[in-house]
Amino acid sequence: TPAPAPRPGAIPPPDIVRAAYAELVVTDPAASREFYVDLLGLVVTHEDEDAVYLRAFEEYLHHSLVLRRGESPALAALAYRVRSPGEVDAAERYYRALGVPVERRAAGATRGIGPAVRVVDPLGFPLEFFYAAEHVPRLHQSYDLHGAGAIARLDHFNIVVPDVARAERYYRDLGFRVTEDIRGADDTLYASWLHRKDTVHDIALTGGDGPRLHHIAFSTHERGQVLHVCDLLGARRRSAHIERGPGRHGVSNAFYVYVRDPDLHRVEIYTTDYYTGDPDHPVLSWDVRDNQRRDWWGNPVVPSWYAEASTVLDLAGKPQPVFAREENSEAEVTVGADGFSFARDASPQVGPST
Amino acid sequence: TPAPAPRPGAIPPPDIVRAAYAELVVTDPAASREFYVDLLGLVVTHEDEDAVYLRAFEEYLHHSLVLRRGESPALAALAYRVRSPGEVDAAERYYRALGVPVERRAAGATRGIGPAVRVVDPLGFPLEFFYAAEHVPRLHQSYDLHGAGAIARLDHFNIVVPDVARAERYYRDLGFRVTEDIRGADDTLYASWLHRKDTVHDIALTGGDGPRLHHIAFSTHERGQVLHVCDLLGARRRSAHIERGPGRHGVSNAFYVYVRDPDLHRVEIYTTDYYTGDPDHPVLSWDVRDNQRRDWWGNPVVPSWYAEASTVLDLAGKPQPVFAREENSEAEVTVGADGFSFARDASPQVGPST
Amino acid sequence: TPAPAPRPGAIPPPDIVRAAYAELVVTDPAASREFYVDLLGLVVTHEDEDAVYLRAFEEYLHHSLVLRRGESPALAALAYRVRSPGEVDAAERYYRALGVPVERRAAGATRGIGPAVRVVDPLGFPLEFFYAAEHVPRLHQSYDLHGAGAIARLDHFNIVVPDVARAERYYRDLGFRVTEDIRGADDTLYASWLHRKDTVHDIALTGGDGPRLHHIAFSTHERGQVLHVCDLLGARRRSAHIERGPGRHGVSNAFYVYVRDPDLHRVEIYTTDYYTGDPDHPVLSWDVRDNQRRDWWGNPVVPSWYAEASTVLDLAGKPQPVFAREENSEAEVTVGADGFSFARDASPQVGPST
Amino acid sequence: TPAPAPRPGAIPPPDIVRAAYAELVVTDPAASREFYVDLLGLVVTHEDEDAVYLRAFEEYLHHSLVLRRGESPALAALAYRVRSPGEVDAAERYYRALGVPVERRAAGATRGIGPAVRVVDPLGFPLEFFYAAEHVPRLHQSYDLHGAGAIARLDHFNIVVPDVARAERYYRDLGFRVTEDIRGADDTLYASWLHRKDTVHDIALTGGDGPRLHHIAFSTHERGQVLHVCDLLGARRRSAHIERGPGRHGVSNAFYVYVRDPDLHRVEIYTTDYYTGDPDHPVLSWDVRDNQRRDWWGNPVVPSWYAEASTVLDLAGKPQPVFAREENSEAEVTVGADGFSFARDASPQVGPST
Ligand SMILES: [Ca+2]
Ligand SMILES: [Fe+2]
Ligand SMILES: [Fe+2]
Ligand SMILES: [Fe+2]
Ligand SMILES: [Fe+2]
């Protein structure tokens, strides 16, 4: 069991704008580049022996994804952008007060990124906070470069944590707000979605053995672009990359597909969630027994989607130990012969209290 | 084992235009009406104690689907339209020569339909051939009536037959042309698609215990309409009607979803296949081991889709006996632990010779 | 000429969340209701003799549009939501300091809205600031209620002002940020787009005789929904409501159509602009001679779109006087024989500096 | 005035399958190639000094468009595919009986095309009839090659003729069937649409000075692909190629845009018309005063669309003389100050008798 998460005292959290980039360790950069660039259509801002820096068509910061060469697949960092240079310092103060590992990083420590702070947060994840970043051309109207599955921007991170309630409390302390969650009859919290920008989430918390990275998600503008990603994978005889979907989420109401990269990092292509920016935005709470919560069409979640996730690293690049979830597992209570998600006829006719 | 199919001699087959309507026996007409009208959005041309007559928005014949009240769910007839009144007589001559049960039906025997011939064909299916039919308003530009999942027209029938090669020969004799098929390495024929109108098919043959009706299919114009059907079923908490998909077919390249009606009759919503009207249209032949053949994205086919199908009736309304398929079963060779469709990593990188 | 706009001193502006609702005076409520509800598909939260209160499918506040019965068509108020009850007081202080008319409104003065402040702002527009509002069911997943042209939410207001630079300064003082603008070679400012929420705009400023309301805009999720609004108007033989488009904007990159209501109030249906929430979001500045700025496909802007706009009222319900624009008119420099927007072959090959 | 069209006697017309390819004379092959390949995305089957042979993604015949280098822009041939080799001979007999110029062409006279017959038909157009053609790979599932505006296949030709009634009679004699037309109160025929394959048309007849080619049309599967063609032209700063639309046709109910190539040949990108293959398909007749007939949304037709068209050649490559239309001009009765198409408020509330 991980130690109870420390709570911040009088130190205010940094003012976070949004989920900004992920740094993934990949074992075969050429294979990864082919996946993210040739198949998913992301744009290369820079590449060298060590890493590939990618962005989507509407983004003007240097990158929203870094693929860094390494021995074993892992998450090296999830980076949040903060509102000003001073908020980088605020992040340092905040995490030092929490007593977790904190590291200042000079401008350029990650190419294209200004002065930053990296920490291992109380949930065990390597986070970065930065404000300054190199601007590059925004290609949002370069329709001649957009494929039929054009990706617009990074949208969110999804992480696996053993104790969702604890993780939610930590993220609320950080200034995030819950938009939706999944709960059991006994009020067990199975998953939670929290946001800073005006979308359903910048971070989602999935109950399970953790800390692990469940997925990163990119947005498109329309459902047709999500479908084309799948059609193109089929055309290249690479449909094995498709893990789950396409489908319509219950939670978030977004249209989605999950694909796995060559190192089995999971990527979601995601579109058309809803505006959440009002201060009294109501939380939509789903019953874990509702088999439309994860797929509005009731299609079952494949077991790998619940079970598999990426290793996360500490600041020295060492894998973080994984702690087992102690509460009920969503997969166990909902998948297969003893669960109820497949048993559609018997599924409870419950839904969110809209 | 069914007797070998008789072959026609000098008698020419009727000139068939297309798959025109299906008559299904349903056990709870109110429930069926709710499904087809309130959920799928078909238009009621007429309804009475006995039956509901439905059409889609682009159709101007009286109906493309009849739901007739009965004791047990079944297929009462698959109706083909022929090119002229004389071709109804041609159908009578043709089937009499084949020595199968043949019945003349006066105009109005089925409401809205002119003089017709019904037969039990050599495959054991109740077929109807008609030319004359009552015209009703075509609502193709009544966008104020179209829901977001608007269905345009009936597209095809799909039937289960134990011997696909024999059934294909019979349909070719009837003047249909093959567009695509699924074959094993040993040249076992697992399924075949044949057309009269300029689309991929009017009839598909699925290998299995038969005669049974696998599904009827309606067309929409765009993929978004198929997706909306699913979203709407979710909104009504009726996602249990969704059996398989949405997905992109390998065979036919169409976008699809399969839903089951209250009697478990299967209906496909289908869109964007391709033009096939040229006389030398090449056959596209798929390897049964290709796990993109039934879903281009490699998503597995649910077992019920292979196993379940509707009973078919003879002309007296008695259920036809079902004969077991003797050749390999597509489900057995491709589904589950001993099959290969799920084993994507090991899936053969084979595809149609485009 | 209007008096120079007063500048705020030490009084901070209210913290505005977003454009929240518009109150339009309509002369025939039944006709307006038919337009907004039967044709555009907005949802009625409440209606009485005096007014109809409408919202879109993703909205949970009481309304985003009020249609109030009156003698002459006009804009009664543009309402901004602020971040907390205290910010309503902040708005009062701010506008009192500016020396413009200010009126406190008790909860319920507008049905469904809590305590509010209304002002005539220095540009001559009747604005409201509120925090509290009645919550009603959010119908974002009620796909059974969504038409094929389902509108998700109110997006922005567009107003006509004689002096765009002055109006832009005023809105920047209020805490809005510019995302795009249109400028002449001489740096004449023709139009400007400013936002609070994470979209391209909450308010757009269009140069012309003002103060007048140019339009209010609602968002859909996809382009197909905008197209369906037009198809449905055609089906009802009401295409005369369509004034301009559908098209793709250059500015904002959004897909749009403009329709006119029975009183000629202009409504835009708008979709797929881009995320703007980062603090260093770069301004995209367009040359007024660029004939793709207002329509990316170069389709000419119809003269009425430039010339016509709605009267705005003061707090007593009297029409505000209109002041002529003194700088160049965008319509005059770009439309017709002496302009250059129609002269595509000669159009300068200029574009935004992406 | 052209001479009255000869009528066929006892000689049966050839059995035509569909509109199959157009051969256009272009003055700058590099510019044309850039337009059709880089901007519209057609696939090059072959190119040499003399000509470029293009096809769309679902086509397996050698080409559906030939761009041949020449001095002046013109139409060299409209080619119809016939049902068998013998039907090529039937075409020869038919046109010899009509007394018009007829020329046998050996296989390969046009690259990829077998033995053919070319004629100058009674309307003055250079037509070709062929059966045999080289097969090339069909790329319908090569989604990795499809751009976001992927074109599926050639759909139809549209020609300008002075006397539409005469031209319609000629095409009916040839075995085409009318699906829709535009008529005046005095029964003047302004335009007519006729088909062989199961779509709204293979040929459309537009009243005006002729013989001239109005346009050729390619199909996509969905509206989004038509929109992307426009977005891409905007991105390349080539929006001047867009002449009219995008829009929804009244006639045919199809979604469309018209673009002009570098020689001002007009190309329509067209999608989602309807099935017409039944023998009793009803004709939909539109009133020329109905301003939704040419654009369902009532958007006015630009004058160039009515006025401009391509020169057509005889078999020797000489321009055909153009005869003036003697009946009313659709443009004159419907465009501008004296017409009624712009005057939406006064537009008659008439529509097709659906
Ligand atoms: Ca899957
Ligand atoms: Fe996600
Ligand atoms: Fe099917
Ligand atoms: Fe707008
Ligand atoms: Fe056309």
Extract the tokens encoding D103.
Answer: 């020329």
Q: Which two tokens stand for residue C311?
A: 């009267």
Inter-axis angle of helices C223-235 and D223-235, nearest 10 = 120
Residues of chain A found within 8 Å of residue B237, distances taken between Cβ atoms: 292, 349, 351
Q: Looking at the complex, report in whole angstroms how far the Cα of residue D253 sits from the nearest Cα belonging to chain C.
A: 10
Sheet holding A51-55: strands in order across? Answer: A43-47, A51-55, A65-69, A16-26, A74-82, A126-130, A116-120, A102-105
Question: What is the CATH topology of the domain spanning B153-346?
Answer: 2,3-Dihydroxybiphenyl 1,2-Dioxygenase; domain 1 (3.10.180)
State how far the Cα of A345 lies from the Cα of A298, in Å rounded to an integer. Answer: 11
* Mean pLDDT score of chain C: 93
pLDDT tens digits for B204-221? 999 999 999 999 999 999
- Of all residues in chain C, the one with the smallest CA distance to D249 is C231
Residue A196 has pLDDT above 90, yes or no: yes
The rounded Å distance from CA B121 to ligand 5 centre is 43
The pLDDT value recorded for residue C341 is 43
Q: What is the distance, to the nearest Å, from the Cα of residue B329 to the centroid of all Cα atoms in its chain? A: 20
CA distance C333 to chain D (A): 19
C250 touches chain D (CB under 8 A): yes
Neighbours of ion ligand 4 (CB under 5 A): C 158, 217, 268
Contact status, residue A66 vs residue A10, Cβ threshold 8 Å: no
Query: pLDDT band at B352, cuts 50/70/90?
Result: very low
Chain B residues within an 8 Å CB radius of A248:
227, 230-231, 234
Distance, CA of C344 to CA of C337 (rounded, Å): 12
Chain C residue with the nearest C-alpha to that of A84: C279
Q: Do A296 and B234 touch (CB under 8 A)?
A: yes
Q: What is the mean pLDDT of residues C189-203?
A: 98
- What is the pLDDT, as a whole number, of residue D185? 83
Euclidean distance between CA atoms D186 and C49, whole angstroms: 49
Enumerate helices (H) and strands (E) in chain D, giving the number of each.
6, 18
CB B88 within 8 A of CB B22: no
The chain C residue lying nearest D230, using CA atoms, is C297
Read off the amino acid at residue C342. Answer: F
Whether residue B354 has pLDDT greater than 50: no
pLDDT bucket at C189, cuts 50 / 70 / 90: very high
Q: Which of C213, C212, C186, C139 is nearest to C333 (CA)?
A: C186
CA separation for the pair C115, B238 (Å, rounded): 42
Strands (E), C295-348: 310-311
Distance C199 CA to ligand 2 centre (A): 21
- A285-289, C4-8, C264-268, D162-166, range with the lowest pLDDT: C4-8
Rounded to whole angstroms, what are the CA distances from B304 to B293, B340, D131, D204? 18, 17, 45, 48
- What residues in C contact D237, CB-CB < 8 Å? 292, 349, 351
CA of C182 to the centre of ligand 4 (A): 14
**D233 touches C at CB < 8 Å:** yes
- The overall average pLDDT reported for chain B is 93
Q: How far is the CA of C214 from the centre of ligand 4 (A)?
A: 8
Phi-psi region of A208 (alpha: psi -120 to 50; beta: other; left: phi over 0): left
User: Which DSSP category does B18 fall into?
Assistant: E
Tokens in use for A126? 């390597």
Q: Which-ligand-closest: CA of B305?
A: 3
Closest Cα in chain B, distance from residue D17 (Å): 7
Q: Cα dihedral angle (D67, D70, D72, D74), rounded to 10 degrees?
A: -40
Cα–ligand 4 centroid distance for C57 (angstroms): 19
Q: Write out pLDDT tens, residues B92-125.
A: 999 999 999 999 999 999 999 999 999 999 999 9
- What pLDDT shows up at residue C187? 87
Looking at domain D153-334, its CATH superfamily turns out to be 2,3-Dihydroxybiphenyl 1,2-Dioxygenase, domain 1 (3.10.180.10)
Ligand found nearest the CA of B218:
3
What residues of chain C, 117 to 156, have a C-beta less than 8 Å from chain B? 141-148, 150
Cβ-in-10-Å burial (0-12, 13-18, 19+) of C241 comes to buried
Would the CB atoms of C239 and D296 count as touching at under 8 Å? yes
| CA gap B249, B221 in Å, rounded | 16
Nearest to A147 by CA among A29, A249, A38, A21: A38
Q: What is the pLDDT of residue B10?
A: 83
Peptide linkage before D211 cis (omega within 30 of 0): yes
Residue B306 CA to ligand 3 centre (angstroms): 13
Q: Which of C83, C138, C279 shows the shortest C-beta gap to A279? A: C83
Mean pLDDT calculated for residue range C290-303: 94
Which chain A residue's Cα is nearest to B245?
Answer: A299
pLDDT tens profile A202-253: 999 999 999 999 999 999 999 999 999 999 999 999 999 999 999 999 999 9
Q: Contact A191/A205 with Cβ under 8 angstroms?
A: yes
Band of residue B9 on the pLDDT scale cut at 50, 70, 90: confident
- Bridge-based pairing of strands C242-248 and C153-161 is unpaired
More confident residue, D336 or A265: A265
Instruction: Find the A300 Cα to ligand 1 centroid distance in Å.
Output: 10
Instruction: Determine what percent of chain B is predicted with pLDDT higher than 70.
Output: 92
Convert D163-190 to b/e letters by CB count within 10 Å (16 or more is b). bbbbbbebbebbebbbbbbbbeeeebbb
φ and ψ at D207, to 5 degrees? -70, 130
- Which chain A residues touch D148 with a CB distance below 8 Å? 143, 146-148, 150, 228
Q: Are A91 and A83 in contact (CB under 8 A)?
A: no
Chain D residue whose CA is closest to A148 = D148
Comparing A170-184, C326-340, D51-65, D312-326, which segment has the lowest mean pLDDT? C326-340
Our CA-based measurement puts residue D170 at a distance from the nearest CA of chain A, in whole angstroms, of 43
Find out whether B153 and B218 touch, Cβ atoms under 8 Å.
yes
Mean pLDDT value across residues B42-71:
98
Residue B336, pLDDT score:
54
DSSP state of B165: H
Phi, psi angle pair for D181, to nearest 5°: -155, 170
Whether the CB-CB separation of A152 and A221 falls below 8 Å is answered with yes
Torsion over CA: D258, D260, D266, D272 (sign): negative
Q: Which positions ≥6 away from B162 have C-beta within 8 Å?
A: B1, B2, B207, B208, B209, B210, B323, B324, B325, B326, B327
Cα(D120) to centroid(ligand 5), Å:
22
Taking the C-alpha atoms of residue D135 and residue B105, their distance in angstroms, rounded to an integer, is: 46
Q: What is the DSSP letter of D21?
A: E
In this prediction, residue C332 carries a pLDDT of: 87
Q: Which two tokens stand for residue C116?
A: 């509010």
Touching C: which chains, 3+ CB pairs < 8 A? A, B, D
Structure tokens that stand for B310 in this block: 């509707």
Contact residues for D38 (Cβ-Cβ < 8 A; gap 6+): none
CA atoms within 13 A on the CB side of B300: 23
Q: Residue A126 forms beta bridges with which residues?
A: A120
Select the residue of D144, D234, D236 nearest A232 (Cβ to Cβ): D144
pLDDT of residue C335: 66
- SS3 for chain A is CCCCCCCCCCCCCCCEEEEEEEEEEECCHHHHHHHHHHHCCCEEEEECCCEEEEECCCCCECCCEEEEECCCCEEEEEEEEECCHHHHHHHHHHHHHHCCCEEEECCCCCCCECCEEEEECCCCCEEEEECCECECCCCCCCCCCCCCCCCCEEEEEEEEECCHHHHHHHHHHCCCEEEEEEECCCCCEEEEEEECCCCCCCEEEEECCECEEEEEEEECCCHHHHHHHHHHHHHCCCHHHEEEEEEECCCCCCEEEEEECCCCCEEEEEECCCCCCCCCCCCEEEECCCCCCCCCCCCCCCHHHHHCCEEEECCCCCECCCECCCCCCHHHHHCCCCCCCCCHHHCCCCCCCC
Find how far residue D144's CA is from the centre of its chain: 29
Residues of D in contact with B58 (CB under 8 A): 274-275
Q: How far apart are CA C225 and CA C148, in angstroms?
A: 6
Q: How many angstroms separate the CA atoms of A39 and B327, rounded?
A: 39
Location of structure tokens 């439905």: B54
Mean pLDDT over residues A331-336, rounded?
77
User: In chain D, what's the furthest Cα-to-Cα distance?
Assistant: 58
H/E run at residue C213? strand C212-219
**Residue A345 pLDDT > 90, yes or no?**
no
Give residue A350's pLDDT: 37
Distance from the alpha carbon of residue B271 to the mean position of ligand 3, in angstroms: 10
Q: Given an 8 Å threshold on Cβ–Cβ distance, is A354 in contact with C139?
A: yes
**Nearest CA among C259, C264, C268, C152 for reference residue C206:** C268
What does R_g of chain B's alpha carbons equal in angstroms? 19
- The reply to whether residue D279 touches residue B17, judged by beta carbons under 8 angstroms, is yes
Residues D283-337: tens digit of each pLDDT = 999 999 999 999 999 999 999 999 999 999 999 999 999 999 999 999 988 865 4
> Averaged over B278-298, what is the pLDDT?
96
**pLDDT attached to residue D332:** 87
Determine the CATH number of domain C16-130: 3.10.180.10
- Would you tell me which residues 204-223 of chain B have a C-beta closer than 8 angstroms to some C-beta of chain A? 223
D9-39 pLDDT, tens digit per residue, is 789 999 999 999 999 999 999 999 999 999 9
Give the separation between CA D229 and CA A332, rounded to whole angstroms. Answer: 48
pLDDT at position B325 over 60: yes
Nearest residue on chain A to D142, alpha-carbon basis: A235
Is A338 a residue whose pLDDT tops 90?
A: no
| ipTM confidence score | 0.95
Asked if the model's pLDDT at residue B127 lies above 50, the reply is yes
Pair B158, B216: CB distance under 8 Å: yes
Q: Which residue ranges does chain B devote to CATH 3.10.180.10?
A: 16-130, 153-346
Q: How many angstroms away from the CA of B140 is the closest CA of chain D?
A: 8
Chain C nearest CA to D228, separation (Å): 10
Does the pLDDT at position A354 exceed 50?
Answer: no
Q: Do C274 and A141 touch (CB under 8 A)?
A: no
| Rounded average pLDDT over C149-176 | 98
Residue B275 three-state SS: coil
Residue with tokens 């059609």: A231
Q: Give the tokens for residue D96.
A: 């010899």
Beta bridge partners of C74: C25
In the block, tokens 């006729």 appear at D194
In the numeric block, which tokens belong to residue C300? 């000419």
Strand blocks (E) in chain B: 16-26, 43-47, 51-55, 65-69, 74-82, 102-105, 116-120, 126-130, 153-161, 177-183, 189-195, 203-207, 212-219, 242-248, 255-260, 266-271, 284-287, 310-311
pLDDT above 80 (res B342): no
Alpha helix (H) ranges present in chain C? 29-33, 85-98, 164-173, 223-235, 303-307, 330-334
